[in-house]
Structure 1
């Protein structure tokens, strides 16, 4: 997407008559799609390019928050993310992704509460911190993709799990202390066709049961079986494809 900034920069710096700004004349839908591919920091920066771009970043459908692209200050990071989240048009939000490996923040659970009130379709979290998953995450009727990586989460699964649209579930680097967690989640996901558990730690557990009638892809990474080793893995998935 660097060509967008370079194109507009040259137009501003040139002293001769400039050609028609063809990029800014594109429909909103196309410009928003371009912004969706930018890291969040640069998505916001597009607002200073011209009047045409001032509010377009608020219409993004993909909110990707990556701390490697943001400031080093913990407080500034929180302030920036909150401002972006609450200024965006959340009714348009499709994907919410956080990649945070350097600083710990406790606002994620509140951000999830806000996001889950809307028709979110994909949540992708890579956070090296203790995290509470709201009960509403397990009853989100629009959620299609859920990826949780390196989240130090205690999975307190509510009595009712209803994820009727969930098709892809990734749980990576998790610690499981309850043998029924996976079964309870899958019981409320009738359409899930991809399940990834790698690598996971099974705390004092020696058996794993996976039952999903629509499952076509199952990945149990080496680490998933390594510590401690599982003595028995039972898979009931009539549509599972052989690699």
Structure 2
């Protein structure tokens, strides 16, 4: 009987033979944990993940983000918290990409309470970060960002959410920032916020969500005075204790003031009871205003005179005031092609 012939089959690893930039592209399409796990495949893969230009760390468990304006303490297993944080900490330490186009860090209630992400945000700035999204919902107090983030020349998009304390230094200057999203963050004071907006020379889109039931929200006058701004989306939730009746308007002593000459698109949804004024908007194309507040009619009437599409959702008391002024020609005549929805 002829001896069995055994053939050795050799499989060629064509993927590992690809150029480095293609391997990086492949890893960009998988979660960061899976990308890091490829380091055990072979020597060729060991350090590929360390040069990824985009890093996304999402440590929110299922259900943590069902309601974006609520932060719920979670007593997850301490060992799980420690493991997640060590993973993030070590992977950031080993990362070596010369340019970090995107860094997303979302730390949910289950993460360790003694985390310090300041050094990694500072490292992202050193690596010329372009897009930074940071959400912190751990149960510890508000966290200050490293001062160098406020002078990052490469940063174009910035999203900050929840327990982040915005304490803008006098040296603040973000020459490339075009998109800014502030979601339920904590502000140091009015002056600091004004200083920040005045040092963003090309800011184009601003998204603000405030939780006025949060005692840390100590802003008296939220002033948006940004010459370059073209889009503003502002949402402030209701202070339940100060508005006992659905149609009753109660002056909270606080206000929203908007002065944006280049603005094209405006959305205000504010049930907090704060007063508001809008002025200096000759280019305004669309406005949606849903408020329960005291509007500054004298400042608002000129700004809304050129708007092409205006949608108003207000209490009966406020709408009646607006309609009265319209009828008596003291408010504004809408532009010929404008539409008014109440």
Which category of TM-score, normalised to the shorter sequence, fits these structures? 0.7 to 0.9
Superposition pairs of residues 224-235 of structure 1, within 5 angstroms: 226-227=238-239, 232-235=255-258
Q: Do the aligned residues in 2 keep the contact of 1:208 with 1:230 (CA within 8 Å)?
A: no
RMSD over equivalenced CA pairs, Å: 2.7
| Residue 119 of structure 2 is aligned to residue 113 of structure 1 | no
Match of 1:169 in 2: 180
> Tell me, what secondary structure is at the counterpart of 2:49?
helix
Alignment partners' CA distance in 1, 2:228 and 2:190 = 21
Deviates more, 1:19-28 or 1:72-81: 19-28
Structure richer in helix, relative to its length: 1
Match of 1:146 in 2: 158
Quick one: structure 1 residues 83 and 176, their matched pair in 2 at CA, closer, same or farther if it must change by over 3 Å?
Answer: closer
Structure with the larger RCO, 1 or 2 (CA within 8 Å, 6+ apart):
1
Runs of 4+ off more than 6 Å:
none
1:30 to 22, 32, 39: 22
- What TM-score, normalized by structure 2, do the two folds share? 0.59
- What TM-score, normalized by structure 1, do the two folds share? 0.81
Quick one: structure 1 residues 213 and 19, their matched pair in 2 at CA, closer, same or farther if it must change by over 3 Å?
Answer: farther
Alignment partners' CA distance in 2, 1:79 and 1:43 = 16
Quick one: structure 1 residues 107 and 206, their matched pair in 2 at CA, closer, same or farther if it must change by over 3 Å?
Answer: closer
Aligned residues: 225
Q: Do the aligned residues in 1 keep the contact of 2:167 with 2:187 (CA within 8 Å)?
A: no
Quick one: structure 1 residues 164 and 177, their matched pair in 2 at CA, closer, same or farther if it must change by over 3 Å?
Answer: closer
Q: Do the aligned residues in 2 keep the contact of 1:143 with 1:163 (CA within 8 Å)?
A: yes
| Residue 228 of structure 2 is aligned to residue 214 of structure 1 | yes
2:32 to 40, 50, 56: 40
Deviations 1:188-238 (A, max 9, x none): 110111111113438454432111122111110142xx3486754222222
Deviates more, 1:26-35 or 1:174-183: 174-183
Unaligned runs of 5+ in 2: 1-6, 62-76, 243-251, 266-285, 287-342
> Tell me, what secondary structure is at the counterpart of 2:223?
strand
Shift of 1:140: 1.0
Superposition pairs of residues 1-243 of structure 1, within 5 angstroms: 21-68=13-60, 73-101=80-108, 102-103=110-111, 104-129=113-138, 130-150=142-162, 152-176=163-187, 178-201=189-212, 203=217, 205-223=219-237, 226-227=238-239, 232-242=255-265, 243=286
Q: Do the aligned residues in 2 keep the contact of 1:205 with 1:230 (CA within 8 Å)?
A: no
Greater C-alpha radius of gyration:
2
Quick one: structure 1 residues 178 and 25, their matched pair in 2 at CA, closer, same or farther if it must change by over 3 Å?
Answer: same
Q: Do the aligned residues in 1 keep the contact of 2:176 with 2:202 (CA within 8 Å)?
A: yes
Alignment partners' CA distance in 1, 2:8 and 2:170 = 68
Unaligned runs of 5+ in 1: 1-14
Alignment partners' CA distance in 1, 2:14 and 2:225 = 53
Match of 2:315 in 1: none
